[in-house]
Amino acid sequence: MMAETGLAALWLAAALSLLQLVLGIAFLRSSPGLLGEGDHPKDGGGAFQEPDSPSTERRSVPLPEASPGRIYAAAVRPVAIAQALLVGLSFLLLIQLFLRTDLSVELVAANSHTLKPWLYKFAGAWGNHEGSMLLWVSVLALAGAAVALLERRLPERTLIATLAAQAAIGLGFYVFLLFASNPFRRLDPPPVEGNGLNPLLQDPGLAFHPPTLYFGYVGVSIGFSFAVGALVTRNVGPAFARAMRPWILGAWIFLTLGITAGSYWAYYELGWGGWWFWDPVENASLMPWLATTALLHSVTVLATRDSLRAWTVMLAVVAFSMSMVGTFLVRSGILTSVHAFAVDPRRGAFILVLLAFYIGGALALFAARVGTVKEGTTFEPVSREGALVLNNLFLTVLLGLVLIGTLYPLATEAMGVKVSVGPPYFNAVAGPIALALVAAMAAGPVLRWRRDRLAQAARRLAIPLAVTALAFLLVLVLAPGLSILELLALVLAAGVAVASLAPLWGRNLRRTPLFTWGMVVSHLGIAVSLAGMASNAAFTRERLVAARPGETVKVGPYSIRFDSVQPIVGPNWTAIEGRLTARRGSRAAFDLRPQARAFFAPPTETSEAAIATRLDGQLYTVLGKSDAEGRWQLRLWWKPFVTLIWLGGAMVALGGFLSLVGRVRRGRRSAAREEAWA
Amino acid sequence: MRRLFLWLPLAMFALFLVVVAVKLRQPGDSTIRSHMIGKPMPEFALQPAVPGRAGLRSADLRSGRPRLVNVFASWCIPCRAEAAQLDALKRRGVPIDGIAIRDRPEDVAAFLQANGDPFDRIGSDPRSQVQFALGSSGVPETFLVDGRGIIRLQHIGDIRPEEAGQIYAAWEQAK
Cα–Cα nearest to A339, from A126, A602, A95: A126
Strand pairing report for B67-72 and B56-57? unpaired
For A354, name the nearest residue in chain B, comparing CA atoms only.
B17
Q: How far is A526 from chain B (nearest CA, A)?
A: 29
Residues 6+ apart with CB under 8 A from A434: A394, A398
Identify the pLDDT of residue A607. Answer: 85
- Taking CB atoms within 8 Å and a gap of at least 24, the contacts of A667-674 are A667/A52, A667/A153, A667/A242, A667/A246, A670/A51, A670/A52, A671/A52, A671/A152, A671/A153, A673/A52, A674/A52, A674/A54
Residues 6+ apart with CB under 8 A from A47: A238, A305, A306, A376, A377
Q: Does A410 touch chain B (CB under 8 A)?
A: yes
Q: Is the pLDDT of residue B34 over 90?
A: no
Instruction: Provide, as residue numbers in chain B, all residues whose Cβ is less than 8 Å from the Cβ of A364.
Output: 10
What backbone phi and psi angles, to 5 degrees, belong to A191? -75, 165
Q: Is the pLDDT of residue B86 over 90?
A: yes
Using beta carbons and an 8 Å cutoff, which residues of B are at the interface with A? 2-3, 6-7, 9-10, 13-14, 16-17, 19-24, 26, 28, 30, 32-33, 35, 73-77, 80-81, 102-103, 107, 132
Q: Nearest by CB to B24, which of A345, A363, A629?
A: A345
Identify the pLDDT of residue A344. Answer: 65
Instruction: Provide, as residue numbers in chain A, all residues whose Cβ is less than 8 Å from the Cβ of B16.
Output: 325, 407
Contact between B6 and A366 using a beta-carbon 8 Å cutoff? yes
Contact between A418 and B74 using a beta-carbon 8 Å cutoff? no
Q: Which domains does chain B have, with CATH numbers?
A: 45-174 (3.40.30.10)
Identify the pLDDT of residue A677. Answer: 67
**Is the Cα torsion angle A459, A460, A462, A465 positive or negative in sign?**
negative
Identify the pLDDT of residue A583. Answer: 94
Identify the pLDDT of residue A91. Answer: 96
Q: How many CB atoms lie within 10 A of CB B38?
A: 9
Mean pLDDT taken over chain B: 87
- Region of A154 (left: φ > 0; alpha: ψ -120 to 50; beta: rest) is beta
Strand pairing report for A590-592 and A573-583? antiparallel
The interface pTM score, or ipTM, of the predicted complex is: 0.78
Instruction: Provide, as residue numbers in chain B, all residues whose Cβ is less than 8 Å from the Cβ of A418.
Output: 32-33, 35
Identify the pLDDT of residue A535. Answer: 94
Q: Are B151 and B39 in contact (CB under 8 A)?
A: yes
Segments of chain A scoring below 70 in pLDDT: 32-66, 333, 335-345, 416-420, 601, 674-675, 677-678
Instruction: Provide, as residue numbers in chain B, all residues whose Cβ is less than 8 Å from the Cβ of A356.
Output: 17
Q: Does A374 touch chain B (CB under 8 A)?
A: no
Contact between B17 and A352 using a beta-carbon 8 Å cutoff? yes
Identify the pLDDT of residue A56. Answer: 42
Q: What's the pLDDT tens digit per position in A259-269?
A: 999 899 889 88
Contact between A359 and B80 using a beta-carbon 8 Å cutoff? no
Identify the pLDDT of residue A507. Answer: 84
Q: Are A241 and A227 in contact (CB under 8 A)?
A: no
Identify the pLDDT of residue A43. Answer: 38
Q: Is the pLDDT of residue B118 over 70?
A: yes
Instruction: Provide, as residue numbers in chain A, all residues whose Cβ is less than 8 Å from the Cβ of B10.
Output: 360, 363-364, 366-367
**pTM of the complete model:** 0.85
Q: Nearest by CB to A359, which of B13, B75, B107?
A: B13
Pick the residue of B4, B12, B16, B108 with the most A CBs within 10 A to test the interface with A by mutation: B16
Pick the residue of A363, A548, A553 with the most B CBs within 10 A to test the interface with B by mutation: A363
Is the model more confident about B65 or about A571? B65
Contact between B75 and A546 using a beta-carbon 8 Å cutoff? yes
